[in-house]
Amino acid sequence: MKRALGVVLLLAVSVALPLARGAESPMEPKVKSESEGSGMGMQLDVNYGFVAGSKSHTGGTDVGYVSEQNASLKYVVSPELTKNLFLRAGLEWNRFSFGLPSGAPLPNTLQQISGIVGFDCQLSEQWLLRLEVQPGLYSDFKDLNFHDLNAPVILGASYLVDSNLQWFLGLRMDPRSRYWIAPAAGVRWKFADEWTLNFLFPEPRLEYDLNKQWQLYLGGRILGGTYRLAEDFGDSHSADRRLNDTTLDFLEVRVGPGVSWKILPNLTIEAEAGCMVYREFEFNDPHMFIRSNRPAPYAQISCHASF
């Protein structure tokens, strides 16, 4: 049962980008107005989070308490190529830093530095498609080489029923991941004046608007990725040399409440706190798991800007 849950969640986070905050904007009226006004859209997302130590284990063996800091930055520009076609170009950086007990067979750092190259195409008033490639480095950044390069491909589709209801579909292909092809679906449903169900991975949540500036929400946050480890990782972190130059799939699930403050029409600050309820490190060769399934408190602050 736990294994099945882990697979489902990893599939969900694998399709995170086309269904997340960045993919909402093509469906919303604001994209059309931006393109009509300036022919150029810009998006900036900055995040920082901390997770307290959570007891980890592999099989019946305790690994110890693992804490975590995560930070990310994403910048995308969307110039208008034609009336219904937009280029997507930008950069993304993600970093996980782990506080590890002595001798833990885990990396201290997992990091991604990648480009973003793709297109948004509006097929009709209801349908919009996205194609995106994310070439870059995905590793522990210990001994960078050709094996650290990867270029996942993302396909996304959005269907606008009306201003209160939108459906999303996504597909991600990553040959480096154990789950090299992954589908997902989501919905954004404003079912009352103050209430919105944003069931969009990797941040599904239920939102309540206090006013035009303040919003409360309750939901989840799913983080993860696929990373290449150093050629001597097994030698330096454990007695198992099979862990040298292997691939690691990382998955983490958080739940909790948060608050969103729209300082300006195009600038929003969010803060949340809750529990990290599940974390998994899956080594592909050898096939080995290290899990944390005991809740640990976390806090996250984010900044979102669009122009």
pLDDT tens track for 120-132: 999 998 999 999 9
Does residue 92 or residue 243 have the better pLDDT?
A: 92
Compute how many other C-beta atoms are within 10 angstroms of the C-beta atom of residue 211.
8
Answer yes or no: is pLDDT of 98 > 90.
yes
Report helix, strand and coil shares of the chain as percent, to nearest 5.
15, 60, 25
Range list of H helices, the chain: 2-14, 16-19, 21-24, 29-37, 233-237
pLDDT of residue 219: 95
Q: pLDDT band at residue 37, thresholds of 50, 70 and 90?
A: very low
- 241 with 235: CB under 8 angstroms? yes
C-alpha 70/C-alpha 278 separation (Å) is: 16
| Higher-pLDDT residue of 146, 236 | 146
Q: Which amino acid is at 163?
A: S
Q: Return the structure tokens found at 34.
A: 């931006």
Separation of alpha carbons 181 and 273, rounded Å: 32
At 76 the pLDDT is 97
Label residue 235 by pLDDT band (50, 70, 90).
confident
Query: Which pLDDT value is given to residue 179?
Result: 80
Cβ-proximal residues to 66 (8 Å cutoff; 6+ apart), any chain: 53, 54, 56, 98, 99, 100, 101, 104, 106, 279, 292
- Whether residue 268 is predicted with pLDDT greater than 60 in this model: the reply is yes
pLDDT recorded at residue 287: 85
Rounded Cα distance, 107 and 42, in Å: 34
d(CA 122, CA 29): 12
- How much is the pLDDT for 239? 61
Helix (H) or strand (E) holding 33: helix 29-37
pLDDT at 38: 52
Select the more confidently predicted residue: 29 or 84: 84
Give the distance, in angstroms, between the CA of residue 49 and the centroid of all CA atoms in the same chain.
Answer: 13
Which residue type occupies 35? S
Model confidence at 238, pLDDT cuts 50, 70, 90, reads low
Question: Average model confidence (pLDDT) for the chain?
Answer: 86
Which residues, listed in sequence order, are joined to residue 220 by a DSSP beta bridge? 255
Percent of residues, the chain, with pLDDT higher than 90: 66
How high is the pLDDT of residue 4? 40
Please give the average per-residue pLDDT across 94-117, as a whole number: 94
- Segment 59-67 shows an average pLDDT of 87
pLDDT band at 70 (very low <50, low <70, confident <90, very high): very high
Separation of alpha carbons 52 and 89, rounded Å: 35
Residue 160 near residue 27, CB atoms below 8 Å:
yes
Which H or E run contains 44?
strand 40-58
Q: Residue 49 and residue 77: Cα distance in Å, rounded?
A: 25
CB 57 within 8 A of CB 192: no
Check pLDDT > 90 for residue 222.
Answer: yes
Q: What is the pLDDT of residue 14?
A: 41
CB-CB contact of 270 with 261 (8 Å): yes
- Joined tokens for residue 267: 């600038």
Is the model's pLDDT at 24 over the cut of 70? no
